[in-house]
Chain A
């Protein structure tokens, strides 16, 4: 029970058990379940349907392909999950992702360690700047991270001589092994992404910091009055988001073998969409890492199926993703209305 009560969805379950009629409890339970595990259920259905419709879909190679394609977005969306649960938003992740990749490729000429540390340090600094400005001045996260979206893109252009230079990762770099190596047919980045998500889930559910994030996203004033270190938690959240976006950039550069300058435009919107599809409320205070993973994988499956159909263009994919987003969010809103009415 204590674990349930930690999230806001859990709190309503507690309320429900005090209500007398069983009909109310049942309806609410279904609503709660659908909201918490809806993404997982839809993902299962999508996987099953795709496997039945396209024989080549369920092949190990294809599934591993989906996994590796989704791995970078999973890492970015993990950071976004923390930010959105805390009641904020981070629009800068797309630019930071691109910047991380370029810096990693640039620094890889001096060895693997600089190629990891330089981008992480710069991206953490951008996250720190976001967090400091948001927490100390009270400016809207939307605008602050919009500014750092531009700023990070500018920094990327400055590093690459206005986008004209594409840095290559040296042939003998360990970075390439990390990006391209496979274990049991699945690329290393997939394992790294899963490991990060597992740590992220533990951090969110079991740590003092994670609980404070939920509390601040649920009601910032109340959290401040309870004595939670609101500013510190927020700053840490944006640093985490910057770090993860930068790390996703490093992994991507390691896989591609170069720091491609034009990547990551609009990626923040994919990440937000995945997080929202995963059942994290955009108003903050509720959400889960597992939902986000399901959300990213769902987008990946949609993309893969549309590629399988073949004669459909990739523009259909964005139509389907957009429609999907609406359906999910409308359902979510309806479900939480059901819960509120009870």
Chain B
């Protein structure tokens, strides 16, 4: 009788341990497996030029997804990131006459302002995050198009172009910025008061409020950070594109960012933020798409495979809550 119980208990334990293992390291294992597969079976995959392309392409998604991870960790969601990228792209040419840094600064200020609007609507007014950020998703791109007069503008500032296509130690600057930001965001979540408060609020907002945490301030700061990161991604994407194109930039990137965060193991219910997992999630989706394209599978198949991957990832992550 007792052995019976202990045996089933052990099986349960093993299964629980296995599930937890898959949940914690599944996304990294999947990235490694894809890399290995490509190294063996894809021609020219390991060439420096290809790897660089992959890194440059994934960088804006990673940067946006970092902000999204913070917002999702607070049990919210930010649909407006694509429009904020467009706003940043529209603002840059206006201030580029003063030089690169003032232009970037203004773009980031605009992103911060958009984030504060979102954060105020969510934290102070009490709107649901989906609706609050949906409004800015709809209006933001409209404002960007009005600001830019609906036109694509070529960027000729050498400094800004260097930011988009430059290299440092053989790596693209854009990718290095994304890595640096990931480290900063990771450390912020782990080791700062703000990060701990954010996770606590995402886990249980009423409890955090009763414990005396500054719920409103933390939430506003979270949406502000998401706005600033999205604006930065807009700046970098504009620099890489060598043109400010507010009608196309960042279109549907909110979906890619949410996918990266969710595939990376951050639950949509908040209270847990996996920064490294988010980076791996973005890499996984990028590699997956690259693999499918390089093996001549059409875009239609790529999208359907992506859909399945999202569902599987969320399904695996779901079991954590029930245990």
Contact = CB atoms under 8 A, between A and B. Distances in A.
A150 B310 contact: yes
B130 A149 contact: no
A151 B309 CA distance: 11
A325 B131 contact: yes
A313 B303 CA distance: 33
Contact of B131 (A142, A150, A276, A321): A276
Contacts of B134: 269, 272-273, 325
A323 B311 contact: no
Contacts of B143: 315, 319
Interface string A299-319: 000000000000001011111
Contact of A140 (B126, B268, B303): B268
A39 interface: no
Given A157-B300, A313-B145, A316-B146, A149 B255 contact: yes
Contact of B138 (A146, A265, A325, A330): A325
A193 to B, nearest CB: 23
A333 B299 contact: no
B268 A143 contact: yes
Interface string B140-180: 11111110001000000000000000000000000000000
Interface stretch (A41-49, A131-139, A166-174, A222-230): A131-139
Interface in A18-71: none
B318 A323 contact: no
A83 to B, nearest CB: 13
B127 to A, nearest CB: 6
Nearest to B136: A322
Contacts of B268: 140, 142-143
A339 interface: no
A316 B141 CA distance: 10
Given A153-B303, A329-B131, A146 B310 contact: yes
B38 interface: no
Contact of A323 (B139, B259, B301, B315): B139
Contact of B306 (A89, A150, A162, A283): A150
A119 B314 CA distance: 29
B94 interface: no
A313 B247 CA distance: 13
Nearest to A91: B255
Nearest to B313: A143
Contact of B121 (A147, A154, A319, A326): A326
A147 B135 CA distance: 22
A143 B314 contact: yes
A158 B138 contact: no
B150 A140 contact: no
Nearest to A160: B300
Interface string A240-267: 0000000000000000000000000100
B299 A319 contact: no
Contact of A315 (B125, B132, B142): B142
Interface residues of A, number: 45
A142 B314 CA distance: 11
A148 interface: yes
B194 to A, nearest CB: 26
Nearest to A318: B142
Contacts of B308: 147, 151
B142 A329 contact: no
Highest count of chain B CB atoms <10 Å: which of A156, A319, A322: A322
B50 interface: no
Nearest to B318: A139
Nearest to A269: B134
A315 B150 contact: yes
B287 interface: no
B258 interface: yes
Interface string B286-322: 0000000000001111111011101100110010000
Contacts of B123: none
B304 A329 contact: no
Contacts of B125: 330, 333
B141 A315 contact: yes
- Of B150, B299, B308, B314, which is in contact with the most chain A CB atoms at under 10 Å from its CB? B314
A144 B311 CA distance: 7
B301 A154 contact: yes
A154 B252 CA distance: 15
Contact of B310 (A147, A269, A282): A147
B139 A329 contact: no
B273 to A, nearest CB: 17
B73 to A, nearest CB: 15
A155 interface: yes
B142 A133 contact: no
Contacts of B150: 313, 315
A325 B255 CA distance: 21
B137 interface: yes
Contacts of A156: 300
B105 to A, nearest CB: 24
B65 interface: no
B75 to A, nearest CB: 12
Interface of A: 89, 133, 137-140, 142-144, 146-151, 153-158, 162-163, 265, 269, 272-273, 276, 282-283, 313, 315-319, 321-323, 325-326, 329-330, 333, 337
Given A137-B315, A158-B304, A322-B135, 4 more contacts: A138-B318, A154-B307, A269-B138, A329-B135
Instruction: List the 7 closest A-B pairs by CB distance, nearest first.
Output: A322-B139, A154-B303, A318-B142, A157-B300, A315-B145, A151-B307, A158-B300
Interface of B: 77, 79, 121, 125-128, 130-132, 134-146, 150, 252, 255, 258-259, 262, 268-269, 298-304, 306-308, 310-311, 314-315, 318
16 contacts: A89-B130, A137-B315, A146-B258, A150-B303, A163-B299, A273-B138, A276-B131, A282-B131, A283-B128, A315-B142, A315-B144, A322-B136, A322-B137, A326-B135, A329-B132, A330-B127
